[in-house]
Structures are given as structure tokens and as C-alpha cells.
Amino acid sequence: MATLGLNPQEKEAVETFRRDVVEPSMTSLVIIDFWAEWCGPCKALAPVLEKVAKDYADKGVVLAKVDTDKNQFIAAQFQVRSIPTVYAMFQGQLVADLTNARTESQLKATLDQLLAQLPVSSEAKDIEAELAPLIAMGEQVLGEGDAVRALSIFDQLAEMAPEHPKVLSGRIRSLVAADRGADAEAAIAALPEDVAKLPEIERAKSALALKKDAQPVGDLVELEAEVAAHPGDHDARFRLAGGQMAAGNRDAAADNLLAIIAADRDWNEGAARDRLLKLFEVTGLEDPWVAAQRRRLSAVLFG
């Protein structure tokens, strides 16, 4: 926004706008709220904008308010014909018109889309970059069967990021793997309702449910012999799969659950399929093992 040929008042307005809006937009996503004191809809929208900006501050979002009565030149430059008018600016360029997003959910949905596309600097991104390799290490240790060490890692991560869904999930699943089911249940119960519905927490809930289902079997060899002698005994095969999961043999457990599904997919109201899907979720849907087993399941169901 050039200042050549402007009067002193207009130059001051441009410099103020550059300092308060354009410069912050070089690294942050700036919500520009064009408003006026006499505008009722502006006053109604203001608390919504302020709350969303506060909620998204750690994601690199800031709110800038422009009083159109005091900044008529700036409003004219942006062709503001009615208020409230709300724009989003990044690196000095308008990237979205937020005027029609009048509710908190609408604003957040639009901001989420923008933040996913733009290289906005934020505290949240910095923390995520720091946490990612540590979370991966915790997951690797947990996957290797060292639940106590994994829990120690996730406990330390929880001190750094107590509300991070992946940290919460990893800690709860470590508690489950360490046979501390009551502590895992308490940790889930303490979560806010909206957090408890996140996919990462659903994964932890599945781990807890699977742990309860996968009861150890006194003599796996004897049960394996029983199933071999009576392959149509789905109840025995189902118990065998549970024992194999409890013993950490997911390959054998998947084989037996798939055998039940192939023979009778509706047996016991689809219990074998439900247990197999829980095993997938607990292992992680992006895991190569899960991808391979899902292909086997598809072949059984649709082959």
C-alpha cells in the first residue's frame, strides 16, 4: 500500500495498518475485522472473533480490528461497502473472505482449512515438531512390548504437552499394556467430553476393550489342539484368538479370527470381525501389518 501522494492523515493510517496488520501477517494469519461503534452486527460478531482468535493464538492466528469511521481511507482501499467485513491476510495478501462465517464453528472450520494450506509460524507447530520424534519413540517402545519404559516416556511427554491427543493416547495404551487397566479407565474418565471423542482416544479405548476381551488361556497348546480337532468350534477358536492376543501373538490371533469370519461372518453377532477391527485400531490403521490384514479381511468378505 503506497503512500505517495497521500495527505499526512492518510499516510499515518497506512503506516499504522502496515505496522498492526501487514507486518504481523508476514508470519501469522491475521483476521481483519472492519467494524464501527454504531454497527450492531459488528458488536454481536466481535465476541465470536475474539474467542476464536484466542483459541487459535498458539496456531499463529491474530485478530486486528479496523474502525471504519476512523480509518475510512483503509476501508476504501479494501473496498469495504458494508460492515462487518472480515478478511484473512497472510504475508500481506488477502487469502480469504470470512464475512459469512458468523459462528464459532464456521470460523474455525475455515481457519483450519487455511492453516493446513499456509506456512503459518506458530507455537503449536514448533511444539509439534519437537514432540513428533519423541512420540514416535514412545510408540516404537510400546510396539516392542516394553510397556513400562513406554509409560515412562509418555509420562514425561505429558509434562510437556498434557493435552496432546497422541500423548494422552500413548500413555493410556501404555497403562493398558502394563496391566494397569484401572488407571487407564481413570485416565479416560478424566478427559473432557470433546477430547474423549478424538480418534487417538478412541484407539486407546479400543486397546482397553481389547485387553479385557483378550483373556490369557491356561494352556494355549491344549486349546490349539482342541481347535485343530474341532475346526468348526468357533467359540473355542475365539477363545484361542483371545489367548493369542494376550500372549502378544497377533498373527495367530488374526488367522483364527479370519477363519471364523470366513466360516460364518455373522457368528455371535459378528464378534470375530469386531475383535479383529479393534486389533487393527489398537495397532494403528497406518501400520503395514494392519494394511496386509485388511486386504485379507476384504478377500474373505468380498472374494
List the one residue out of 301, 93, 221 whose CA is nearest residue 277. 301
| Preceding peptide of 84 cis, ω within 30° | yes
**SS3 state at 214:** coil
Q: Can you read off the three cell numbers belonging to residue 78?
A: 479494501
List the one residue out of 33, 32, 21 whose CA is nearest residue 92. 21
Say how far apart CA 269 and CA 174 lie, in whole Å: 30
Q: Can you read off the three cell numbers belonging to residue 267?
A: 457368528
Say how far apart CA 104 and CA 150 lie, in whole Å: 38
Residue 30 dihedral angles phi and psi, to the nearest 5°: -100, 125
Please identify which residue in the block is written with the cell numbers 496386509.
292
Which member of 13, 29, 32, 39 is catalytic? 39
Q: Is 147 a catalytic residue?
A: no
Q: Is 18 a catalytic residue?
A: no
Which member of 29, 30, 31, 42 is catalytic? 42
List the one residue out of 102, 122, 18 whose CA is nearest residue 52. 102
Residues involved in catalysis: 39, 42
